[in-house]
């Protein structure tokens, strides 16, 4: 940093639950060397966050219907409608649906307003789709929703088990810390349990490609094995736990060979894993959505925890079960009580003493004694009219909920849908009756809690765009209009944080670990300067290490876990569709979808499948596949991947109707949930596939809207010019005239029209000779040099260039250099090939030659694969 420059602001990354510290002023950005989570590192999403900022595409003003209105009018309307519904139908007829992307202060206020003052419990959160099975498993085992360990445990461990986690892509900095630790201490072992071979397997000494949905069987088998091989910690079990025998009885005692067959694993591999687990006191089992998002997700979590309790490995250095959180503030939301079946600060709705303490603290007139509806049931209640007004903040359920088309229909039919978002175009906002513009990252001010319970600040360092306001502010102004002004009279986020922190004193009073009460009297200045710290504030980095838990008797509970249900594929839906994340995209792409570089890793929606499966179904790499579920159908590209079982498919969760015509994976996913947690089984959807062969292919460049054709995918090219590339395909015979509607106006058109060969090309120029539109339609996918064409949109094209415009290629060899592997330095396959030809034979050598992999390191697994 140059010495004269303004100091950078310390903040926290807006993406994943690793919660990396950053230093930025909106123009410069680097990792915060002092932050305990990342010590200065950032992954590719974090590094490119500045490319997603800016006013373009933001929701800037409140709207009622399509009409821009003042905040006063919008808030009057929200309050008026909520009041009328509550008066006529009771508090059960209104709902909030919130998100782990809110700040703790926003979340606290939303929960307080619903449960304390509106008197209903229908506030649920997208954490229901994400962490609720882990929450339920923690509560059953520990008596409280606590992740016992910390990131350092992954470095201290001698065995790290990663199950249902694609850590390399979803929690890259945790993965890099693990990779660095393993490099320092090669004796450390890593086991990955995942039906797919993922980038995470790159680090694995052993990959168990388990049959989908079978983790309980695997961990039950482990419990039995530990018992049979005298590897239990009997003293710990006796002193600190209950119900071991019931868990062991439920675990069954299938011989290893039979169990391995059932799990689809070589018996030797299964035995190796059990042996390693038995003999390694320092073992961490990290789990994520492959565990949580299943019909028995809660049992899956408890089966893992059982194995740790049985060996006394909880909350000790280098040992523990570790549920890693997804969203930047998933943990904060769980603290404040954002789930419909929680009250607040780790206290329970069903407990009268907890309710009395909370009512007293808030001065609340009415606390519900019954849990509210969990997300799937909540949207069902919207669909059948029991819920008549819903306020959705910081989440996009029309894309991310199972049976997403039904969620959309429910919102379209609902009388009052209020949506708070920072972006102007989302599939959920399209259903809003009232739209409220929210501040986004860099503008909003508050705190978040990461996976290791570390509370960090996200301060504002950018001005508010348009009339966007903080979410807590909008909630408080509505509370005021409903007559609860005194309880929501906060001067700012510091005020809210102090109240919340004090309130965690109640948790402590009821014997919980959550405790931030020492921060209850921070000054505004101290709040501004808060350095990352984990709760309990007066505790160490770990919880439960002394064997005392948050249950009434201080003992942890083993949970008897029934064998997993059989997969519900059938002859009509013979394949199991898995879904999840890509390295460079965030959820429904409302933010990462603004950074063109983040599309260079994967640019169109796709379905991964094994080459033999593809051959059997008449599908080929790059062709199109129709995926049929019970509720809907999707259309995407085929990608061949030998890392999948032959009866499995994988589809990314990211594509919304803003980025492709029919690639919302959640339209396919049925709304089947875990009976304990209510979390949907996103990972295991029965489907069928069939090829789709278009009559023509096309590419369109411009700033226009998506053409209404059978297949389209939007790939941002340049954010300043709002320039997109649309990849197109159609089933009907080609009719170029239809495209007139979708092409922007131009001063001059160059056209090539060859109906006999099925070729049609058009380039539109403005008065100065700059491209404003470019279209190519052909029987096979047209080639082009997107970088060259993008330049032609920016600067007038010279005579030589004009001659090549319809070709779409400047002739300087830019086309067909393959996919970008290293996003940070935009290194393409061709460059890597050249580096290899020039003698680069290791990741380090590639880095020296072409810089690939030397910034965030997220592409290192792919560089290794490339070298292999
Ligand atoms: N790049 C990126 N990172 C993110 C996010 C993002 O959108 N993009 N989102 C964040 C959020 S909110 C979350 S919750 C996390 C999620 O982080 P992860 O849970 O790591 O990510 P997923 O890709 O959803 O799924 C993890 C793995 O579970 C595997 N799996 C599927 N079925 C089974 C099974 O039956 N058993 C086992 N053992 N494994 C199975 C899948 O094959 C997949 O590789 O990521 C966070 N980080
Ligand atoms: N098939 C399938 N479906 C899944 C999953 C899966 O693995 N497979 N994973 C599930 C999981 S784990 C998760 S967490 C969900 C995520 O799903 P969503 O929460 O629906 O996804 P996001 O795209 O993160 O939506 C966040 C929205 O909030 C907006 N936003 C960002 N910051 C703010 C803010 O400060 N205030 C306001 N008001 N708005 C803001 C963004 O622009 C965006 O529109 O998806 C779930 N759905
Ligand atoms: S790992 Fe990447 S996305 Fe996650 S918090 Fe760190 S920089 Fe952000
Ligand atoms: Mo999540």
Ligand 1 environment, Cβ below 6 A: 16, 45, 130, 163-166, 169-170, 193-196, 198, 210, 212-213, 215, 288-290, 326-327, 578, 580-581, 583, 585-587, 683
One domain for residues 311 and 383:
no
The CA 13 to ligand 3 mean position distance, Å, reads 6
Residue 429 scores a pLDDT above 90: yes
Q: Report the C-alpha dihedral over residues 349, 352, 355, 360, rounded to 10 degrees.
A: 180
Residue 768 scores a pLDDT above 90: yes
One domain for residues 253 and 207:
yes
The CA 532 to ligand 2 mean position distance, Å, reads 25
Q: How confident is the model at residue 1 (pLDDT cuts 50, 70, 90)?
A: very low
One domain for residues 263 and 392:
no
Q: How confident is the model at residue 189 (pLDDT cuts 50, 70, 90)?
A: very high
The CA 112 to ligand 1 mean position distance, Å, reads 31
Average pLDDT of the chain to the nearest whole number: 95
Residue 449 and residue 429: Cα distance in Å, rounded? 27
One domain for residues 407 and 343:
yes
Within-domain flag for 510: no
The CA 170 to ligand 1 mean position distance, Å, reads 6
Query: What residues have CB less than 8 Å from 854, skipping those under 6 apart?
Result: 824, 825, 847
Domain containing residue 91: CATH number = 3.40.50.740
378: nearest Cα among 121, 736, 39: 121
Q: Counting beta carbons within 10 angstroms of the beta carbon of residue 54, is it exposed (0 to 12), middle (13 to 18) or buried (19 or more)?
A: middle
478 membership: H or E segment, kind and range: helix 471-479
Q: How confident is the model at residue 149 (pLDDT cuts 50, 70, 90)?
A: very high
Atom of ligand 2 nearest to the CA of 683: 8
Residue carrying structure tokens 């876990």: 561
| Percentage of residues in the chain having pLDDT higher than 90 | 87
Amino acid 827: pLDDT:
87
Of the residues 671, 692, 713, which one is the last residue of a structural domain?
692
Domain containing residue 606: CATH number = 2.40.40.20
Within-domain flag for 569: no
The CA 303 to ligand 2 mean position distance, Å, reads 28
337: nearest Cα among 324, 346, 328, 325: 346
pLDDT in tens, 355-391: 999 999 999 988 999 999 999 999 999 999 999 999 9
Residue 295 and residue 684: Cα distance in Å, rounded? 9
Within-domain flag for 223: yes
φ, ψ for residue 488, nearest 5 deg: -125, 30
Across the beta sheet with 320-323, the strand order is 206-208, 189-193, 159-163, 283-287, 320-323
**CA distances in angstroms from 312 to 69, 156, 760, 857, listed in the order given:** 60, 16, 70, 35
Q: Domains in the chain: how many in total?
A: 5
Residue 184 scores a pLDDT above 70: yes
One domain for residues 825 and 848:
yes
The CA 186 to ligand 1 mean position distance, Å, reads 26
Residue 211 scores a pLDDT above 50: yes
Check pocket membership of 590 for ligand 3, CB cut-off 6 A: no
Domain that holds residue 580: 575-692
Residue 558 scores a pLDDT above 90: yes
One domain for residues 632 and 721:
no
Residue 669: count other Cβ atoms within 10 Å of its Cβ: 29
Amino acid 619: pLDDT:
98
One domain for residues 770 and 839:
no
The CA 490 to ligand 3 mean position distance, Å, reads 31
One domain for residues 723 and 829:
no
858: nearest Cα among 192, 169, 174: 169
Within-domain flag for 506: no
435 membership: H or E segment, kind and range: strand 434-437
Within-domain flag for 548: no
Q: How confident is the model at residue 684 (pLDDT cuts 50, 70, 90)?
A: very high
Within-domain flag for 610: yes
Judged by its nearest atom, the ligand closest to the C-alpha of residue 454 is 3
Residue 254: count other Cβ atoms within 10 Å of its Cβ: 16
Amino acid 813: pLDDT:
63
Instruction: Output the residue whose Cα is nearest ligand 2's atom 26.
Output: 395
Amino acid 814: pLDDT:
59
Given a contact cutoff of 8 angstroms between Cβ atoms, the answer to whether 133 and 332 are in contact is no
Check pocket membership of 856 for ligand 3, CB cut-off 6 A: no
Residue 155 scores a pLDDT above 50: yes
Across the beta sheet with 9-12, the strand order is 9-12, 21-24, 29-31
Query: What residues have CB less than 8 Å from 8, skipping those under 6 apart?
Result: 1, 23, 24, 25, 28, 30
Q: Counting beta carbons within 10 angstroms of the beta carbon of residue 205, is it exposed (0 to 12), middle (13 to 18) or buried (19 or more)?
A: middle
Instruction: Output the residue whose Cα is nearest ligand 1's atom 30.
Output: 290
Residue 149 and residue 138: Cα distance in Å, rounded? 13
Instruction: Output the residue whose Cα is nearest ligand 2's atom 40.
Output: 394
Judged by its nearest atom, the ligand closest to the C-alpha of residue 400 is 2
Query: What residues have CB less than 8 Å from 638, skipping those under 6 apart?
Result: 606, 607, 609, 614, 619, 620, 621, 622, 623, 624, 625
pLDDT in tens, 76-106: 999 999 999 999 999 999 999 999 999 999 9
Residue 301 and residue 323: Cα distance in Å, rounded? 8
The CA 237 to ligand 4 mean position distance, Å, reads 33
Q: How confident is the model at residue 855 (pLDDT cuts 50, 70, 90)?
A: confident
One domain for residues 649 and 581:
yes
Instruction: Output the residue whose Cα is nearest ligand 3's atom 6.
Output: 20
Residue 456 and residue 150: Cα distance in Å, rounded? 15
Atom of ligand 2 nearest to the CA of 99: 19
Signed CA dihedral, 827, 830, 832, 838: sign only: negative
pTM, two decimals, is: 0.96
Mutate to test the pocket of ligand 1, among 194, 200, 575, 686 (most ligand atoms within 8 A of CB): 194
* Degrees to nearest 5, angle at CA 33 with 28 and 37: 110
One domain for residues 777 and 714:
yes
Q: How confident is the model at residue 829 (pLDDT cuts 50, 70, 90)?
A: confident
Residue carrying structure tokens 């069987």: 217
One domain for residues 122 and 192:
no
pLDDT in tens, 631-674: 899 999 999 999 999 999 999 999 999 999 999 999 999 999 99
Across the range 62-75, mean pLDDT stands at 98
Judged by its nearest atom, the ligand closest to the C-alpha of residue 588 is 2
Structure tokens at 321: 């079960």
Given a contact cutoff of 8 angstroms between Cβ atoms, the answer to whether 283 and 319 are in contact is yes
Residue 151 and residue 324: Cα distance in Å, rounded? 10
Rounded (to 5) percent helix, strand, coil in the chain: 35, 20, 45
The CA 36 to ligand 2 mean position distance, Å, reads 26
Of the residues 774, 793, 816, which one is the last residue of a structural domain?
816
Domain containing residue 305: CATH number = 3.40.228.10
Judged by its nearest atom, the ligand closest to the C-alpha of residue 634 is 2
The CA 646 to ligand 1 mean position distance, Å, reads 20
Instruction: Output the residue whose Cα is nearest ligand 2's atom 35.
Output: 440
Q: Counting beta carbons within 10 angstroms of the beta carbon of residue 352, is it exposed (0 to 12), middle (13 to 18) or buried (19 or more)?
A: exposed
Atom of ligand 1 nearest to the CA of 167: 20
Atom of ligand 3 nearest to the CA of 450: 5
Within-domain flag for 512: no
Residue 676 and residue 341: Cα distance in Å, rounded? 11
**CA distances in angstroms from 710 to 181, 606, 627, 660, 731, listed in the order given:** 49, 15, 14, 10, 7
134: nearest Cα among 671, 676, 662, 497: 676
Query: What residues have CB less than 8 Å from 534, skipping those under 6 apart?
Result: 150, 452, 453, 454, 455, 541
Q: Counting beta carbons within 10 angstroms of the beta carbon of residue 684, is it exposed (0 to 12), middle (13 to 18) or buried (19 or more)?
A: buried
141: nearest Cα among 551, 416, 740: 551
The CA 666 to ligand 1 mean position distance, Å, reads 15
85: nearest Cα among 459, 11, 77, 531: 77
Across the range 600-619, mean pLDDT stands at 97
Within-domain flag for 230: yes
Judged by its nearest atom, the ligand closest to the C-alpha of residue 165 is 1
One domain for residues 439 and 378:
yes
Atom of ligand 3 nearest to the CA of 18: 5
Instruction: Output the residue whose Cα is nearest ligand 2's atom 20.
Output: 396
Amino acid 524: pLDDT:
98
The residues with which 637 forms a beta bridge, in sequence order, are 606, 624
Judged by its nearest atom, the ligand closest to the C-alpha of residue 665 is 2
> What is the per-residue DSSP string for 64-83?
ETTEE--HHHHHHHHHHHHH
Of 447-456, 500-509, 708-717, 853-862, the poorest mean pLDDT is in: 853-862
């Amino acid at each position: 940093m140059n010495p004269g420059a303004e100091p950078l602001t310390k903040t926290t990354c807006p993406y994943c639950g690793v919660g990396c510290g950053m230093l930025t002023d909106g123009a410069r950005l680097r990792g915060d060397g002092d932050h305990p989570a990342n010590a200065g590192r950032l992954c590719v999403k974090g590094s490119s966050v500045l490319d997603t900022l800016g006013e373009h595409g933001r929701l800037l003003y409140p709207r009622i219907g399509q009409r821009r209105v003042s905040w006063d009018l919008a808030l009057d309307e929200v309050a008026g409608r909520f009041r009328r519904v509550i008066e006529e139908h009771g508090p059960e007829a209104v709902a909030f649906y919130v998100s782990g992307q809110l700040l703790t202060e926003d979340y606290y206020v939303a929960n307080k307003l619903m449960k304390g003052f509106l008197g209903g419990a229908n506030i649920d959160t997208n954490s229901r789709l994400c962490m609720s099975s882990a929450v339920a498993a923690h509560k059953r085992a520990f008596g409280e929703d606590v992740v016992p360990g910390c990131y350092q445990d992954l470095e201290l461990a001698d065995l790290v088990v990663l199950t249902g986690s694609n850590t390399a892509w979803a929690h890259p900095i945790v993965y890099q810390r693990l990779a660095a630790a393993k490099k320092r201490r090669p004796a450390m072992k890593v086991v990955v349990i995942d039906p797919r071979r993922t980038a995470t397997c790159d680090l694995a000494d052993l990959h168990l490609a388990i049959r989908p949905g079978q983790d309980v069987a695997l961990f039950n088998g482990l419990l039995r094995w530990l018992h049979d091989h005298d590897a239990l910690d009997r003293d710990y079990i006796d002193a600190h736990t209950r119900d071991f025998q019931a868990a062991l009885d439920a675990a069954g005692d299938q011989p290893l060979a039979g169990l391995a067959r059932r799990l689809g694993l070589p018996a030797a591999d299964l035995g190796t894993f059990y042996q390693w687990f038995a003999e390694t006191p320092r073992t961490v089992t990290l789990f994520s959505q492959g565990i949580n998002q299943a019909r028995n997700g809660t049992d899956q979590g408890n089966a893992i925890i059982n194995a740790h309790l049985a060996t006394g490995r909880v909350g000790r250095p280098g040992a523990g079960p570790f549920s890693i959180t997804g969203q930047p503030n998933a943990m904060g939301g769980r603290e404040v009580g954002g789930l419909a079946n929680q009250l607040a600060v780790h206290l329970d709705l069903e407990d009268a003493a907890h309710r009395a303490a909370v009512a007293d603290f808030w001065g609340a007139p009415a606390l519900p004694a019954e849990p509210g509806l969990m997300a799937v049931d909540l949207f069902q209640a919207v669909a059948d009219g029991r819920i008549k007004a819903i306020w959705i903040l910081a989440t996009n359920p029309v894309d991310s909920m199972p049976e997403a088309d039904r969620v959309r229909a429910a919102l379209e039919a609902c009388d009052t849908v209020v949506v708070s978002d920072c972006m102007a175009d989302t599939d959920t906002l399209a259903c809003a009756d009232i739209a409220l513009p929210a501040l986004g990252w860099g503008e909003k001010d508050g705190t978040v809690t990461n996976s290791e319970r570390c509370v960090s600040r996200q301060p504002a360092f950018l001005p508010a765009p348009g009339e966007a306001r903080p979410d807590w502010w909008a909630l408080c102004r509505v509370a005021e209009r409903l007559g609860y002004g005194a309880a929501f009279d906060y001067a700012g986020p510091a005020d809210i944080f102090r109240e919340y922190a004090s309130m965690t004193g109640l948790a402590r009073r009821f014997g919980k670990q959550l405790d931030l009460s020492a921060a209850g009297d921070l000054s505004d200045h101290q709040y501004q300067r808060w350095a990352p710290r984990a709760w309990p504030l007066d505790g160490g980095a770990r919880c439960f290490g002394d064997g005392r838990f948050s249950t009434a008797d201080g003992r942890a509970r083993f949970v008897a876990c029934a064998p997993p249900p059989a997969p519900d594929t059938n002859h009509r839906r013979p394949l199991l569709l898995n879904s999840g994340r890509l390295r460079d995209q965030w959820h429904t792409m409302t933010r990462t979808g603004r950074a063109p570089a983040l599309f260079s890793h994967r640019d169109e929606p796709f379905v991964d499948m094994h080459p033999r499966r593809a051959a059997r179904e008449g599908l080929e790499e790059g062709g199109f596949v129709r995926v049929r579920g019970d509720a809907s159908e999707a259309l995407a590209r085929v990608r061949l991947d030998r890392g999948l079982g032959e009866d499995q498919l994988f589809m990314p969760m990211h594509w919304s109707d803003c980025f492709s015509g029919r690639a919302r994976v959640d339209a396919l996913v049925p709304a089947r949930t875990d009976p304990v947690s209510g979390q949907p089984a996103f990972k295991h959807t029965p489907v069928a596939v069939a090829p789709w062969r278009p009559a023509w292919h096309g590419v369109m460049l411009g700033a226009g809207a998506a053409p209404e054709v059978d297949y389209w995918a939007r790939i941002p090219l340049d954010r300043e010019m709002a320039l997109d590339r649309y990849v197109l395909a159609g089933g009907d015979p080609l009719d170029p005239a239809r495209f007139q509607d979708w092409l922007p106006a131009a001063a001059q058109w160059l056209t090539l029209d060859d109906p006999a060969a099925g070729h049609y090309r058009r380039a539109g120029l403005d008065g100065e000779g700059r491209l404003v539109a470019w279209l190519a339609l052909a029987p096979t996918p047209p080639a082009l040099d997107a970088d060259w064409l993008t330049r032609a949109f920016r600067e007038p094209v010279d005579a030589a260039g004009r001659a090549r415009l319809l070709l779409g290629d400047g002739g300087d060899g830019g086309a067909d250099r393959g996919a970008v592997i290293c996003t940070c330095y935009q290194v393409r396959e061709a460059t890597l090939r050249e580096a290899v030809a020039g003698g680069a034979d290791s990741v380090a050598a590639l880095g020296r030659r072409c810089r690939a992999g030397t910034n965030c390191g997220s592409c290192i697994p792919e560089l290794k694969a490339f070298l292999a």
